[in-house]
Amino acid sequence: MMDKHRRIVITGIGLTAPNGNTLDAFRASLLKGVSGVVPFETRYMGKVLAGVCTYDPLKYQMKKEVRRGTRAGSIAIYCSREAMADSKLDFVSFDKSRVGVYLGITEHGNVETENEIYNISQFNYDTKFWSHHHNPRTVANSSAGEVTLNMGITGPHYTIGAACAAGNAGVIQGAQMLLLDEVDIALAGGVSESIHTFGIFASFASQGALASHPDPAKASRPFDRDRNGIVCSEGGCVYVLERLDHAEARGDATDFVLPNAERHIECMRTALKKAGLGPQDIDVVSTHATATPLGDIQECIALRTVFADCLNTHFNNTKSFIGHAMGAAGALELAGNLPSFDDGLIHHTINVDHLDPDCALDNLVLHEPRRVRHVTYVLNNSSGMLGINSVVVVKRV
């Protein structure tokens, strides 16, 4: 049995996704097959499709604070505050120097720079109209810093740049800092404001990798034979992580560019080894698949290799509902599967009308949720540009 001081548990979850602003709402949308992808207007490109969040930024910030900060920071504050409330921690009296913030991001600063360039273009590019808020808005640690300022946290805090694997990387960093006894509470996860930069749409469009469909809800279709690209989304998910002995001591609940197949395999097997598990122990694999023609196939090759003959391992995909939330993707996709520990339901993958034979997986959950006898282990798979992969394994407590 692992020492309780070295066992990390999730005691709170806060999120905003294009189809839900709480875990309960998000989970309900996943089980009912409700997409969060909608038409979206962006500068220079006009109408595109995107996953857009509808959380209330004024729940935890004043209007002036929202204007001064960033969208990513606002999402991070909302998710962190919601996670802390969910944890039931007496945060008011807690030592704020023993709280750490570790947030994964894909990119940051593009939104603000694009906005400022557009703004001075209206004044013949006179830089005296450039905002003095630009520097603090665009530093890479902005999202984590905005959380600490809002919540009065004085412990270690930073963002983790890990492309589209960043949400998982934030969780991993939080767990590592707890194991090092650097903090007693870690706010860890990922955030994304990506849809507010036209550049991300333009870049994917220039690569022929931007999804299109007459019905926005059907645009994100990982594994489908007719998939045609990525739907960009915003969002965030933050977890409260604690050491098990710390959580029990306070008396709260604790039940809670082309990927490379070989590196996928290596990362998953490393995570399983660190967890002391075999592939057959995993009940649910939350896939990363983004609905790009080659990327989905590479991941499926890796999954078929690692989980060969694992008759009770099921696979699903959350991007089919919300699109690709970039730095928030891994954290949100993990959250969508955690309720399976309690209800025994594995949410399905939508928009797979014609399964690509190259993406065929045994126990790929399609069309409707699947009930199983129990879920004990969830493996969450993420990868990103420049060859980065991250895998998180979570056990039911």
CATH of the domain at 380: 3.40.47.10
Q: What are phi and psi of 51, to 5 degrees?
A: -95, 115
Percentage of the chain exceeding pLDDT 90? 89
Q: Scanning the structure block, which residue is given the tokens 């190259």?
A: 358
Contact 232, 204 (CB under 8 A): yes
C-alpha span between 206 and 191 (Å, rounded): 25
Per DSSP, the residues of 133-155 read THHHHHSTTHHHHHHHHHHT--S
Where among 249, 277, 312 does a domain terminate? 249
pLDDT digit string, tens, across residues 49-97 = 999 999 999 999 999 999 999 999 999 999 999 999 999 999 999 999 9
pLDDT of residue 96: 95
Same domain, 50 and 88: yes
- Say which residue, 253 or 366, is predicted with more confidence: 366
From residue 304, alpha-carbon distances to 204, 231, 268, 298 in Å are 28, 25, 12, 10
Domain span at residue 155 reads 8-249
CA 245 to chain centre: 27
pLDDT of residue 6: 84
Banded pLDDT at 1 (limits 50, 70, 90): low
Same domain, 142 and 202: yes
Same domain, 212 and 282: no
pLDDT of residue 364: 98
Same domain, 278 and 179: no
Contact 188, 13 (CB under 8 A): no
Angle at CA 132, nearest 5°, toward 130 and 134?
Answer: 80
Helices (H), the chain: 23-32, 63-68, 71-87, 110-121, 134-138, 142-151, 166-179, 198-206, 244-249, 261-275, 293-306, 319-322, 329-337, 340-343
Q: How many domains does the chain contain in total?
A: 2
Same domain, 188 and 325: no
Where among 249, 281, 296 does a domain terminate? 249
Asked if residue 316 belongs to a domain, the reply is yes
Where among 186, 216, 249 does a domain terminate? 249
Same domain, 49 and 120: yes
Same domain, 174 and 63: yes
pLDDT digit string, tens, across residues 137-164 = 998 999 999 999 999 999 999 999 998 9
Banded pLDDT at 302 (limits 50, 70, 90): very high
- Say which residue, 93 or 255, is predicted with more confidence: 93
Asked if residue 225 belongs to a domain, the reply is yes
Per DSSP, the residues of 292-315 read -HHHHHHHHHHHHHHTTT-TT-EE
Asked if residue 1 belongs to a domain, the reply is no
Q: Which two tokens stand for residue 12?
A: 């709170």
Same domain, 70 and 108: yes
Same domain, 305 and 224: no
pLDDT digit string, tens, across residues 171-228 = 999 999 999 999 999 999 999 999 999 999 999 999 999 999 999 999 999 999 999 9
Contact 288, 223 (CB under 8 A): no
Banded pLDDT at 107 (limits 50, 70, 90): confident
Same domain, 367 and 336: yes
Asked if residue 388 belongs to a domain, the reply is yes
Banded pLDDT at 252 (limits 50, 70, 90): low
Asked if residue 131 belongs to a domain, the reply is yes
User: Which residues in 197-259 belong to E strands, given as ranges?
Assistant: 232-233, 235-243
Asked if residue 101 belongs to a domain, the reply is yes
Asked if residue 256 belongs to a domain, the reply is no
Same domain, 202 and 93: yes
Same domain, 150 and 42: yes
pLDDT of residue 5: 81
pLDDT of residue 258: 61
pLDDT of residue 174: 97
Most confident listed range (280-284, 322-326, 328-332): 280-284
Mean pLDDT over each residue of the chain, to the nearest integer: 94
Asked if residue 103 belongs to a domain, the reply is yes
- CB count, 10 Å around CB of 131? 13
Cα within 13 Å of Cα(348), Cβ side: 15
C-alpha span between 175 and 322 (Å, rounded): 27
pLDDT of residue 3: 80
